[in-house]
């Protein structure tokens, strides 16, 4: 066994169908009397239903959460929180909604309960990406971590098939990079392998039968494990590429992750044989993991080319420059020519090499 350092983030997880009914008791356990419920405009009705469920324990709904946690939206939410004298935060939604609750917790120290309705994984990470003046900056702090996470499968049944697939691959990307992280360790690698396997077997069913609660529950279990990996160890090339592509070209977050992932795996494969063996085991089948992953995009009905989700061809050079100007640690050095080729292949939807 190689030497390793293992850091665990504290977590209280309520997992299972119907567990949302325990939200009030969880708020009381935290000593809260008046929660602010946070949603996107699209999930406003879900926020209203929670308000009715909580009765006096709910102060107000803020339904203005949006992608990339812009600080001006956080300022408006903070004013609403103070005007309503709320003393706890309840986020119900995907990574965007949970990001806003984290931004508010950072500014107020209030406790948070997260109810994820996608597979992005933010609810179990001490990470926040905030955008100000068009620049997205990421920070890590234990004060960002929600005190309680409720994984209630019923809240995911409405997530459309395409979003379920891309969000599931976003989760897988966290676990893939955890397998070859600089600070990889045996416990997180176990979670990564299990998380990838759970998503690999459940996503095809979820896409065909979005109302299949068993497959949804499996996917949520995988997403929790993969998110835990993201919260525990450092990420590498794949996350750097997606940060640049999403942040500088405003590409949709989850689809960008899904398209880039097979290419990032192929780039690192030769220098990471043991992580590749684990990944191959988790995915099942006989193909190389990057080929398997690329084929999976097609079978889940996802786009395979960055040009099909809004990437401009003239932006490829700028993306490369940005990746190289402030590169993350990666098991294989980040080099201009092979990365230029990687970006070209991802842009065109070519098979990863």
Under the binding rule (CB under 6 A), the answer on residue 82 touching ligand NAD is: no
Q: Is 341 exposed, middle or buried (0-12, 13-18, 19+ CB in 10 A)?
A: middle
Using CB under 6 A as the binding rule, the residues of this chain from 30 to 59 that contact ligand NAD are 40, 42-43
Please select the residue that binds ligand NAD; options are 74, 96, 202, 330, rule is CB under 6 A.
Answer: 96
Number of residues that bind ligand NAD (CB under 6 A): 30
Minimum CB distance to ligand NAD smaller for 210 or for 338: 210
Q: How many CB atoms lie within 10 A of CB 11?
A: 16
Sign of the CA dihedral 246, 250, 251, 254? positive
Residue ranges of alpha helices (H) inside the chain are 23-29, 44-54, 71-83, 95-108, 161-179, 186-208, 213-232, 237-249, 253-269, 273-283, 289-299, 316-325, 336-348
Among 47, 59, 70, 99, binds ligand NAD (CB under 6 A): 99
**Region of 159-167, 262-270, 285-293, 297-305 interacting with ligand NAD (CB under 6 A):** 159-167
Task: Tell me whether strands 13-15 and 148-151 are parallel, antiparallel or unpaired.
Answer: parallel
Q: Does 254 bind ligand NAD (CB under 6 A)?
A: yes
CB of 128 to ligand NAD, least distance (A): 6
Q: CA 111 from chain center: how many Å?
A: 21
Q: Which of residues 111-150 bind ligand NAD (CB under 6 A)?
A: 117-118, 120-122, 125, 127-129
As given in the structure block, the two tokens for residue 1 are 């066994």
- CA–CA separation, 200 and 131 (whole Å): 32
Number of residue whose CB is nearest ligand NAD: 95
Can residue 95 be called a binding residue for ligand NAD (CB under 6 A)?
Answer: yes
Q: Which residues contact ligand NAD by CB under 6 A?
A: 40, 42-43, 67-68, 93-97, 99, 117-118, 120-122, 125, 127-129, 155-156, 158-159, 163, 167, 170, 230, 253-254
């Amino acid at each position: 066994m190689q030497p390793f350092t293992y850091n665990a983030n504290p977590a209280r997880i309520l997992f299972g169908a119907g567990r949302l009914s325990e939200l009030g008791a969880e708020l009381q356990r935290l000593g809260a009397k008046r929660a602010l419920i946070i949603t996107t405009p699209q999930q406003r009705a879900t926020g209203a239903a929670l308000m009715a469920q909580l009765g006096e324990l709910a102060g107000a709904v803020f339904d203005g959460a949006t992608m990339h946690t812009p600080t001006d939206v956080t300022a408006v939410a903070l004013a609403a929180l103070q005007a309503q004298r709320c003393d706890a935060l309840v986020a119900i939604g995907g990574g965007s909604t949970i990001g806003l609750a984290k931004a508010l917790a950072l500014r107020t120290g209030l406790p948070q309960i997260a109810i994820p309705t996608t597979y992005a994984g933010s609810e179990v990470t001490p990470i926040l990406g905030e955008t100000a003046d068009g620049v997205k900056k990421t920070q890590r702090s234990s004060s960002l971590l929600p005190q309680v996470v409720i994984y209630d499968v019923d809240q995911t049944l409405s997530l459309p098939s395409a979003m379920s697939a891309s969000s599931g691959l976003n989760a897988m990307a966290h676990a893939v990079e955890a397998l070859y992280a600089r600070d990889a360790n045996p416990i997180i690698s176990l979670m990564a392998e299990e998380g990838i396997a759970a998503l690999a077997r459940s996503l095809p069913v979820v896409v065909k039968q979005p109302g299949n609660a068993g497959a949804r529950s499996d996917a949520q279990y995988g997403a929790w494990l993969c998110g835990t990996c993201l919260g525990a160890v450092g990420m590498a090339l794949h996350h750097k590429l997606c940060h640049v592509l999403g942040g500088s070209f405003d590409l949709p977050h989850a689809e960008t992750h899904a398209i880039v992932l097979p290419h990032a795996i192929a780039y690192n494969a030769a220098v990471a044989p043991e992580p590749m063996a684990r990944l191959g085991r988790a995915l099942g089948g006989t193909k190389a993991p990057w080929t398997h992953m690329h084929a999976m995009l097609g079978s889940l009905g996802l786009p395979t080319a960055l040009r099909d989700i809004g990437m401009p061809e003239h932006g490829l050079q700028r993306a490369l420059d940005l990746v190289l100007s402030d590169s993350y640690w990666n098991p294989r050095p980040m080099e201009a020519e092979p990365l230029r080729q990687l970006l070209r292949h991802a842009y065109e939807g070519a098979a990863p090499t």
